[in-house]
Copies of this chain bind each other. A is one copy, B any other.
Amino acid sequence: MLRKTSIDPLLGRTNQSLYGSGSANLVDTFDDLPPGIGQYEDFHTIDWLRDIARDRYRHRQILKKRQDSWLESIKSAHDAWSGWVCVLLVGCAAGVFAAVIDIGASWMSDLKEGICSEAFWLNREQCCWVADVNSTFNEKGCTKWQTWPELFGSSGKGAGDYILKYIIYIFWAMLFSTLAVMLVRVFAPYACGSGIPEIKTILSGFIIRGYLGKWTLIIKSVGMMLAVSAGLSLGKEGPLVHVASCCGNIFSYLFPKYGRNEAKKREILSAASAAGVSVAFGAPIGGVLFSLEEVSYYFPLKTLWRSFFCALAAAFVLRSFNPFGNDHLVMFYIDYNNPWYLIELIPFIILGILGGLWGAFFNKLNIMWCRYRKQSTLGKYPISEVLLVTLLTAVLAFPNPYTRMNTSELIKELVRQCGPEDEDDLCNYDRNVTDMMAGISSAPLGSGVKRAMWQLALALIFKCAITIFTFGIKVPAGLFIPSMAIGAITGRMIGIGMEQLAFNYKEYSIFKEMCSAGHTCVTPGLYAMVGAAASLGGVTRMTVSLVVIMFELTGGLQYIVPLMAAAMASKWVGDAFGHEGIYEGHIRLNGYPFLDSKEEFTHTTLAADVMRPRRNDPPLATVTQDSMSVEELESLLRETDHNGFPVVVSQESQYLVGFVFRKDLTIAITNARNNQDGIVSQSIVYFTSHVPVTTVAGGPTPLKLNKILDMAPITIADQTPMEIVLEMFRKLGLRQTLVTHNGRLLGIITKKDVLRHIAQCHHQDPEDILFN
C-alpha cells in the first residue's frame, strides 16, 4: 500500500498518511497548522516513536524535493548540517558562559576579602599579575591588592582587624546570597538547585516549559556566581550542565528540525549536557560519558559523535579564555607522576568504602531534610532559610583557613604534591635542609602539618554537616565540588597517615620498595584525588564517567587503577544501602515521571494487572469505527479527559482498529462543523476508508475521519509480563500501549500507570507521581 497525498478538508491542509493509508500525520505543512498541533502541553510526556516518525517523514520530504531546484538542494544541505552547526553553537555558548561564570565567581569570591586598589575589576591573582608582570606570581609580595581593613587605613593585622575582616566577610556573604535568592525567586524559580534531576527527567521525554529558557539561563548563571561567592558549600559544576542545556534549548529554536520536534531536541540537549560537564571539569570525553551514563535516555550513536564534538568545542572555547591562568583546562591539574604500589590498593579501597558510606549517609539525610522542607512550614520561607544557612556557613567557615577559601581552591591544595619551595602548613615537614633531595623525599611531620590535620578534621565535620542542609536550598547549587572536597580532605588525611606509616616503618618489607629510591614514599595528593572520586561516586553513583573524568584530570593511565578500585568500592558499598544516587532520590522526591533505565524490575506482574480500567472501574472509553455520531463523540470529549481513544470495530466485539488522539479529534470535528457542508450532530463518523453508500443515501452527510486514525498503535497481550512491557516503554519511548486479548481490546497502559506500578512494587505511595 503506498502513500497518497490529498487535501484534507477537515484539518484544512495537505495531508499525507504517515501511518499508512488512513492515519494521522501532522508534519508536512507545519506552518499551516492551527497553533499547538504537534506540540505537547506543559508537564506532559512525549511520544518518542511518533516524534521520530515525524522527523523521518520530514527528512524524506526534503530528500524528495532536493532534485527540484538548487534552492531545495541548499535547503537539504542546510538540513543535513544543521545538527552540527547547532551543537557547535551550543558548545561555543557553553564555553563562553563557563568562562564568564568562572571569572565572575573568582572576582566576587575575592571581593569578600579585599579589592584591587587600581583596577577594581581584577581579582586578586590578576591584580597581582598586573602589578608586577615580570616577576612570577607571589601572593605575599602583592602590593596592589588591599584587604578591606587595609583600605580603611588599618595595618591589616591585630585582633581588631581580624574582627573587622570577619564582619566584612559575613556582610558580603549575606549580600551575595540575598541577591542570589531574590533573583531566583523573582525572575526564574526554575534556576534553583542543581538542575540535573530535572534535566534527566526532561531528557527522558517530559516537558517542563521554561525550565531551559533564557531567563533561567541568565539567572542561573548570575545566581551561581553569587552563591559560590557567598562561600556556601556548593559548586558550580552541576549547574553548568543546566546552563549548557539552556543554551542547547535556546539554539535548537534556530533550527526547526530540532526546535519543533521534542524528540530531536533531546539529541541537542544530550550533547549540551556533555558540553556542560566538559567545561566544568575540562573533560570532554568524561562529559560525553556522563551524558551517556547519567543524564541521557535516548542516545543513538550519531548523538555520541555530536556530543563529543560539542563537548570538545566547549572545552576549546573555554581554554581560549584561559580562566584558570594556566594552559590546562582543569581546575586541579595533577603534574606529578609518582608510581603507586599494589599495597596501596588497600587504603584506596578503604577510601572507596568510606566514600560509599558517606554517599549513602548523605543521600539519606539530604532527602530526609528535603522531604521535611517540602512538608513542613519551612518550605514557605525559602529566603529566610538561605540567609540562615549563609550566616551559619560564613560564621563557622571564616576562622578555619580550609573552609574560608573557595572549595575548588581547597581541592586544588589537597591534590597537590609538596614541592621543595612550598611553605604552607600542608607541606611543613621536618626536612633536612642541607640534603639536595630532601625537598621531595618523605620526612617526619612538622608542626604545620599537624596543625593542618586538625584544621582539616574540623573542616571535614563542618563540610559534611553543612552540605546536607545546603543542597536543596533555593539558590543554584551543585554537589560535585562539595562532595569532592569532603573526599579530598579524607583522602589527604589518610594519605599523610600512610606516608608517615611508610616513612617510620620503611625497613618493613611491605614498605621497603615504596621508600627505597629516595623519593616520596607516598603521594598524599593522590590519596586526596582518589578520595574525591570515591566520595563523588558514593553520592552520585557514577561509574565509567567518574573514572574517565578523573582520568582526564590526572592525564595518565597510571592512576586509573586506583581510581577504578575506589570508584568500584564506593559504588558497591553505596548500593548496599540503597540503589539510588542523589539525583534519582531527588527525582523521586519531586515525583517526576522518570522511567529509570538502569533499575531492574524484578516483579512478576502481568500487563493485565497494571492496565486500566481496573476490575471494578467503568469500562474504557472507546470510539467505534463506523457507528458513533458527531454528537456522541463531542459528549465523549466533554466527559472524559483522556489524551486519546482506542477505536474498535463495535462496542460489542471490541476488536481493536486503531487509536485517535484527543487533540486531533477535537480539531477535526471543530473544523468539519465550521467548514464542511452537511455535518450535523447526527452525522455518523467513519474511521474506515470506505463509507457504505446506503448510509450516505439515508441519513445526514457522514464525516470521514480515517485520516486522523493511527492504524498502527503499539499493542500487547494481556499476559505480557510487566518486565517486557517496561522494556518496550523504555526502549521504544512509548507514551501508552493498548492491551488486547485474542484481538479484543481490554485496556490501556500509560507511562504514568507504569511509574505508579513501579512505585507500588517498591512500597512507595503511587500518588507521588505528580505528572503524566
Q: Which A residues contact B (CB, under 8 angstroms)?
A: 1-3, 18-23, 49, 52-53, 56, 59-60, 63, 282, 284-285, 288, 292-293, 301-302, 304-305, 308-309, 312, 315-316, 329, 543-544, 547-548, 551-552, 555-557, 560-561, 564, 568, 597-598, 600, 602, 604, 606-609, 649, 655-658, 711-717, 719-721, 723-724, 727-728, 731-732, 740, 742-744
Identical copies in the complex? 2
| A551-B308 Cα distance, complex, nearest whole Å | 13
28 contacts across the A-B interface (CB closer than 8 A): A1-B609, A2-B604, A19-B719, A20-B608, A22-B719, A23-B719, A49-B727, A53-B721, A53-B723, A56-B602, A63-B602, A282-B557, A284-B560, A285-B548, A288-B544, A293-B301, A304-B544, A305-B544, A308-B543, A309-B568, A315-B557, A649-B742, A656-B742, A711-B719, A712-B716, A715-B715, A715-B717, A742-B743
Please determine whether B717 and A713 come into contact, CB atoms closer than 8 angstroms.
yes
Residue from B59, B600, B711, B717 in contact with A712 in the complex, judged by beta carbons closer than 8 Å: B717
| A56-B602 Cα distance, complex, nearest whole Å | 7
The residues of B that contact A732 with a CB separation of less than 8 Å are: 727-728, 731-732
Q: How far is the CB of A195 from chain B (nearest CB, A)?
A: 22
The residues of B that contact A743 with a CB separation of less than 8 Å are: 655-656, 740, 742-744
Please determine whether A711 and B721 come into contact, CB atoms closer than 8 angstroms.
no
The residues of B that contact A608 with a CB separation of less than 8 Å are: 1, 20
Residue from B19, B556, B731 in contact with A731 in the complex, judged by beta carbons closer than 8 Å: B731
Beyond A312-B561, A552-B557, 17 extra complex contacts between A and B, CB < 8 Å: A19-B721, A20-B606, A20-B719, A53-B721, A53-B723, A56-B723, A301-B598, A304-B543, A304-B544, A305-B543, A316-B561, A649-B742, A656-B742, A657-B742, A712-B716, A712-B719, A712-B721
Q: How far is the CB of A53 from chain B (nearest CB, A)?
A: 7
Given contacts A285-B285, A568-B309, A728-B732, A556 and B555 within 8 Å (CB-CB): yes
The residues of B that contact A555 with a CB separation of less than 8 Å are: 555-557
The residues of B that contact A742 with a CB separation of less than 8 Å are: 649, 655-657, 743
| CB nearest to A649 among chain B residues | B742
Q: How far is the CB of A183 from chain B (nearest CB, A)?
A: 35
| A105-B584 Cα distance, complex, nearest whole Å | 50
Please determine whether A285 and B551 come into contact, CB atoms closer than 8 angstroms.
yes
Q: How far is the CB of A548 from chain B (nearest CB, A)?
A: 6
| A292-B300 Cα distance, complex, nearest whole Å | 11
Q: How far is the CB of A647 from chain B (nearest CB, A)?
A: 10
The residues of B that contact A564 with a CB separation of less than 8 Å are: 308-309, 312
The residues of B that contact A284 with a CB separation of less than 8 Å are: 557, 560
| CB nearest to A720 among chain B residues | B712
| CB nearest to A59 among chain B residues | B602
| A744-B713 Cα distance, complex, nearest whole Å | 15
| A578-B728 Cα distance, complex, nearest whole Å | 33
Please determine whether B719 and A21 come into contact, CB atoms closer than 8 angstroms.
yes
| CB nearest to A659 among chain B residues | B717
The residues of B that contact A293 with a CB separation of less than 8 Å are: 301, 304
